[in-house]
Amino acid sequence: MVCVPQLDEVLDGLHVVSLPMRVRFRGITVREVVLIEGPVGWGEFGAFPEYEPPEAVFWLASAVEAAYRVPPDVRRDRIPINATVPAVVAAQVPEVLARFSGARTAKVKVAEPGQTLADDVARVNAVRALVPRVRVDANGGWSVDEAAEAAAALTADGPIEYIEQPCATVPELAALRRRVDVLIAADESIRKADDPLRVVRSKAADVAVLKVAPLGGVARMLEIAGQIDIPIVVSSALDSAVGIGRGLLAAAALPELPYACGLGTGGLFVDDIAESVEPVDGFLPVAPVVPDPARLAALAAAPERRRWWIDRIRACYPLMS
């Protein structure tokens, strides 16, 4: 994965923070991450709590890479981003979009447990009234038949740029792609797969959504991107400003960037470890992020949570190579 420093060295530069969220997203209202300071910069380890060490270790490798490895050269100094709209009621959409100044594209969460397709259509139409390009993300929540029905309903009043991970498996994505006219994007089928290229070889997607941390860092993401012959969208994994900075770096290093990236999720936090950088005309600048010491102190997680994350790093560390 990356050149691995000694564990004690990593733990010496470690901060655990709890970031309060404006709305529930991915089932949580507080996002905990570990920030690691190294000789090159800051890295972020934020594998979601349910991820076991064999999966979480990729996130840790990404953090270590950021702190200890010189970054790649970049091709652009700003990145177009999409607004991110959680599974809120349609009436809340204007409030959410107000945090994404100038964004011309919005990604809308759909297929939320406990909600209906009618809820999704209402939310998407509310977004469509304010933003010219709309994409949706189902997080694998539909069967093939449900996804086909949803694609028809969600495009009845206007186009959709693509549907991200409408179904959970690669065969389902391939079957759906043969049934609908909407572009299909793969996320979990790449970042959670033993073989991240299978979805492309199976002709199961039109767009590849790549996330730095789950893939093991910027270098590995760029390596995977070099083997993919479909357009790429770089997205965040509900990262703090440090993680977003790594995503922007990765997007800046790609040869081509035809779509807006999902790197505007900082607006989902009430507070972050660095001063918020507002998008300008829908773009974010590419620059390293250095946490504010006062914010690190104010947002520090409770001692028991700090111990939990340190134990988790200790469990993951032997898996790094």
- For residue 115, the domain's CATH number is 3.20.20.120
192 belongs to the catalytic site = no
Spatial strand order of the sheet with 105-109 comes to 83-85, 105-109, 133-137, 163-164, 184-186, 207-211, 232-235
Same domain? 226 vs 315: no
Same domain? 107 vs 19: no
Q: Which domain holds residue 198?
A: 78-285
Candidates 81, 46, 80; CA nearest to 66 is 46
Which two three-digit tokens encode residue 318? 């032997």
User: Residue 281 annotated as binding?
Assistant: no
Q: How far is CA 226 from CA 73, 230, 251, 252, in A?
A: 15, 10, 13, 14
233 neighbors 263 (Cβ within 8 angstroms): no
Residue from 107, 109, 192, 203 carrying the catalytic annotation:
109
Q: How far is CA 14 from CA 22, 122, 133, 239, in A?
A: 26, 43, 40, 16
Same domain? 41 vs 89: no
Q: How far is CA 258 from CA 79, 97, 224, 254, in A?
A: 11, 22, 17, 10
Candidates 198, 134, 194, 204; CA nearest to 162 is 134
Q: Which helix (H) or strand (E) holds 15?
A: strand 14-25
Q: How far apart are CA 31 and CA 34, in angstroms?
A: 10
User: Residue 73 annotated as binding?
Assistant: no
Same domain? 40 vs 123: no
User: Residue 161 annotated as binding?
Assistant: no
Q: Would residue 16 count as lying in a domain?
A: yes
Q: Which helix (H) or strand (E) holds 84?
A: strand 83-85
Same domain? 139 vs 53: no
Q: Would residue 118 count as lying in a domain?
A: yes
pLDDT at residue 158, rounded to an integer: 97
**Who contacts 221 (Cβ-Cβ below 8 Å, separation ≥6)?**
210, 211, 212, 215, 234, 250
Q: Would residue 100 count as lying in a domain?
A: yes
Q: Would residue 209 count as lying in a domain?
A: yes
Q: Would residue 297 count as lying in a domain?
A: yes
How many separate domains does the chain show? Answer: 2
203 belongs to the catalytic site = no
Strands 42-45, 28-37: pairing kind: antiparallel
Same domain? 302 vs 178: no
pLDDT at residue 27, rounded to an integer: 79
pLDDT at residue 195, rounded to an integer: 84
Backbone angles phi, psi at 319, to 5 degrees: -85, -10
241 neighbors 274 (Cβ within 8 angstroms): yes
Same domain? 57 vs 166: no
Q: Would residue 2 count as lying in a domain?
A: no
Supply the CATH number for residue 37's domain: 3.30.390.10
Same domain? 47 vs 86: no
Q: Would residue 1 count as lying in a domain?
A: no
Same domain? 96 vs 12: no
Same domain? 167 vs 298: no
135 neighbors 109 (Cβ within 8 angstroms): no
Question: pTM of this prediction?
Answer: 0.92
Average pLDDT along the chain, 321 residues, taken 10 residues at a time: 81 95 84 97 96 96 97 96 94 92 94 96 98 96 98 98 97 97 93 83 95 96 94 95 98 97 90 90 94 97 98 96 71
At position 135, the amino acid (one-letter code) is R
Q: How far apart are CA 139 and CA 160, in angstroms?
A: 16
207 neighbors 178 (Cβ within 8 angstroms): no
Same domain? 33 vs 11: yes
Q: What is the DSSP letter of 113?
A: T
At position 297, the amino acid (one-letter code) is A
Same domain? 67 vs 90: no
